[in-house]
Amino acid sequence: MAFRMKLIFGILLCLIMAIGAFESSAEQDIQSQINQTKNKIKQKRNEEKSVLGKLLNTQKELDKISKNLNQINSQMGTTEERIKVIKSELQKAEEELRKVKNNVSEREKVLNQRIVAIYKYGYQSYLEILFQAKNFGDFVTRFELVGHFVHKDLYMLKELQQRIKQINQKKAVIADKQSELEREKRIYSRLQEQTKIQHSRYLDRVQDHQEQLASIQKDRRKLEAMLDELERISKSMESQIREYQSRNQGVVGSGELIWPTTGRITSPFGYRVHPILKKRKYHSGIDIAAPRGTPIVAADSGVIIFSGNNGGYGKMISINHGNGISTVYAHCDVLLVSAEQKVSKGQRIALVGSTGLSTGPHLHFEVRKNGVPTNPLSYL
């Protein structure tokens, strides 16, 4: 009988040791997962920041190229309109030249008819006209009339030839302008093609960066979901604390809390933008920034409920002060007390660190009433 009792006691002792080892291993696994996930999120955020920077720079370049392309298209359109105007002016000059040439033909025809008449009838006929004058005054009048017609024909022909010369000069100037505009159009056309190719290349880069960013953000959301799951572990503390307090009614602190460490508050109680997850989340305590290794003291006398690793809280201590009040000290670097140990107000219990889900050395301090987080500033 005694042997059986020793055997049973030995088996129970082994089981207790195994369970303790399992719990310790589980805590280490959770902390390891927290640290790994935290590092992966930081890595993804760095990748996201890098790709986002590239995306913004590429988008800026794309905007510049688009602006240049719009300017080139505008200049191209202006040049084409000017070419249309020049062509219209050239057509008008050609029409005017055609009319003047027709006029010249008509005047030359009249002059030719006069020349033919002179050739046919000779100068005698003109002399007869002159000598048939009744008196000297009539002679002079007839002479001037014949000379007037010949002089007028020659003058008009000369004037028309001068006009033809002017129109041809005008046509040459217009043609030069047209050639210049055509060259300008060809230059803009080449710039347009080059800019379109550049625009397409940068557009492809933007799309590549957007795809990379979407992939990184997808991975980050998965990691955040994992962290959310790990952080839900901390919520179980409410029931654990209530259960512990129901079993330990005799513990009574002074009811007045002191500051657990020195430093400045970097994050208040309540909803805030999480420093790692970068989204609005509930903050169940206050964060007090302090150098690594800064002493942390018990805010009031009580009994240690928990001392060890606890998910996103990292190395953590919770103390029962009685009357439903408990305090939590998270992200510690070194823990100086153990579970079930009695501590007095102001006693050193840990050192400031950055374990668990933390962005730098600080103390996350909570005050809980019946396990539910309340604003610590109402008690300090």
State the pLDDT at residue 9: 45
The token pair at 150 is 């010949």
Residue 290 CB contacts under 8 Å (≥ 6 apart), including other chains = 261, 262, 263, 352, 361, 362, 363
Is-contact 18 253, C-beta < 8 A? no
Q: What is the 3-state secondary structure (H, E, C) of the chain?
A: CHHHHHHHHHHHHHHHHHHHHHHHHHHHHHHHHHHHHHHHHHHHHHHHHHHHHHHHHHHHHHHHHHHHHHHHHHHHHHHHHHHHHHHHHHHHHHHHHHHHHHHHHHHHHHHHHHHHHHHHHHHHHHHHHHHCCCCHHHHHHHHHHHHHHHHHHHHHHHHHHHHHHHHHHHHHHHHHHHHHHHHHHHHHHHHHHHHHHHHHHHHHHHHHHHHHHHHHHHHHHHHHHHHHHHHHHHHHHHHHHHHHHHHCCCCCCCCCCCCCCCCEEEECCEEEECCCCCCEEEECCEEEECCCCCEEECCCCEEEEEEEECHHHCEEEEEEEECCEEEEEEEEEEECCCCCCEECCCCEEEEEECCCCCCCCEEEEEEEECCEEECHHHCC
Residue 284's pLDDT is what? 80
The Cα–Cα gap between 190 and 187 comes to 5
Helices 2-131 and 136-247, interaxial angle, to 10°?
170
**CA-derived radius of gyration, the chain:** 52
**Residue 342, beta-bridge partner list:** 303
In the prediction, which pLDDT does 97 show? 73
Residue pLDDT tens, the chain, 380 long: 444 444 444 544 444 444 444 344 444 555 555 666 667 777 877 887 887 788 788 888 878 888 887 888 888 788 788 878 878 877 887 887 787 777 777 766 766 666 565 555 444 445 555 556 555 454 455 445 555 656 666 677 677 778 778 878 877 887 787 788 788 778 778 878 887 888 888 888 888 888 887 887 777 776 676 566 545 655 666 677 777 767 766 667 788 899 999 999 988 887 656 555 556 666 788 999 999 999 999 999 999 999 998 877 889 999 999 888 999 999 999 999 999 999 999 999 999 999 887 778 999 999 998 888 899 999 98
Distance of CA 350 to the CA centre of its chain: 45
CA dist 10 and 136 (Å) reads: 170
What are the tokens at 155? Answer: 């003058």
**What span, in angstroms and rounded, lies between the C-alpha atoms of 354 and 233?**
19
Predicted model pTM: 0.47
Residues 289 and 362 sit within 8 Å (Cβ to Cβ): yes
Predicted confidence at residue 277, as pLDDT, reads: 54
Identify whether the C-beta of residue 306 lies closer than 8 Å to the C-beta of residue 269. no
358, 314 Cβ separation under 8 angstroms: yes
Cα–Cα dist 279/266, whole Å: 17
> Residue 362: what pLDDT?
94
Q: How many residues are recorded in the chain? A: 380
Q: Please give the span between the terminal C-alpha atoms of the chain, in angstroms, as a whole number.
A: 59
Nearby residues of 71 by Cβ (< 8 Å), 6 or more positions away:
none
The domains of the chain, with CATH numbers, are 59-211 (1.10.287), 248-380 (2.70.70.10)
77: alpha, beta or left? (left if phi > 0; alpha if psi -120 to 50): alpha
Place of tokens 């920041």: 49
